[in-house]
Amino acid sequence: MNNHMTATAERPVSTGRPKAKIRLGDRVFSTATVLSGSLILLVLVLVAAFLVAQSLPAFFAAKGTLPDSSTNFWTYVGPLVFGTVWAAFLALIIATPLALGIALFISHYAPRRISQLLGYIIDLLAAVPSVVFGLWGVLVLAPFIQPFYNTLVDKLGWIPLFAGPVSGTGKTILTAAIVLAVMVLPIMTAVMREIFLQAPVLHEEAALALGATRWEMIRMAVLPFARSGIVSAIMLGLGRALGETLAIAIVLSPATVINVFLLTSQNPNTIAANIALQFNEAQGVGLNTLIASGLILFVITLLINMLARYVVNRRKDFSGAN
């Protein structure tokens, strides 16, 4: 008996749980996710490295070797940067209130059948190729809206934005901005609609129970909750507008200028459209210059995404989502 008690006392007592066996499927899935995330970072680094390497000749090019007889790269790309940001800014001014109104109507005002139909139509617009929007803008929208431009110049020509002479073809920066607004409208509306539908129902019912009207309920319960989502939708639309190429190349009558006139035929070009129009004929330093302008667009898009992430994270604590 003493020997049995001694053996029992010397036997190690296991206090921890048995080690879980990692299944093959879990290991494969975990490895695949890590590789996928690493691949995204690798592709981003490789793209940035390629753009930087190919852009160096343009940054240090001698005077007179750049396109349009520019003195240096920055005088060449400056109007393009302005045109890119200006066109995207105008498109957001047009698209943001429309997307906000459509998303609120679908989520809180329209009957179920109508909201489903409108949601389907909005989502369908996202599948339309950009070349179709460009052809619609140059063949339908520009001739249709050109008489309205004449009226704007006659009535509001004293405002610098609407100063003449008006374009006879309607191919202006404002027409391009309208086309861009239609193109970014589906993604902005879809994101806002989903955010509005996720607003806490208890908050909405409490506001209505306290005597609030439908609009007061939306203003007090829905919009504060969706603030960060609205910012995200706007930034997504901005990213789409900054990188749009074919539609702008078709609709716009470009020039190497910096101005804020909306209705004239002398319009600042965008970086993406300029690359598409000049790439086939570019060679040598000219090709490096186009790639360098693409690098500038890459940096602008990256900075905008970082700004959007900062704004969303800052607003998250005050959105009501927590």
Model pLDDT for residues 222-231, shown as the tens digit of each residue:
888 888 888 8
3-state secondary structure of 195: helix
- Structure confidence at residue 211 (pLDDT): 83
- Structure confidence at residue 94 (pLDDT): 93
Q: What crossing angle do the helices spanning 24-59 and 285-316 adopt, rounded to 10°?
A: 130
Residue 268: φ, ψ to 5°? -65, 140
Tens of pLDDT, residue by residue over 131-178, are 898 899 889 988 898 888 888 888 887 888 887 788 888 888 889 999
CB 163 within 8 A of CB 261: yes
Longest CA–CA span in the chain (Å) reads 114
Give residue 278's pLDDT band: very low, low, confident or very high (50, 70, 90).
confident
Q: Is the dihedral of CA 60, 300, 241, 46 positive or negative?
A: positive
* Amino acid identity for residue 148 in this structure: F
Whether omega for the bond prior to residue 165 falls within 30 degrees of 0, making it cis, is yes
Tens of pLDDT, residue by residue over 78-135, are 888 998 899 999 999 999 999 999 999 988 888 888 888 888 888 888 888 888 988 9
Helices then strands, counting H and E runs in the chain, come out as 13, 2
Determine if the pTM surpasses 0.85.
no
Burial group, residue 23, by CB count within 10 angstroms (0-12, 13-18, 19+): exposed
Q: Is the dihedral of CA 10, 16, 22, 23 positive or negative?
A: positive
Q: Is the model more confident about 55 or about 24?
A: 55
CB 144 within 8 A of CB 241: no
The mean pLDDT of the chain is 82
pLDDT at 192 over 50: yes
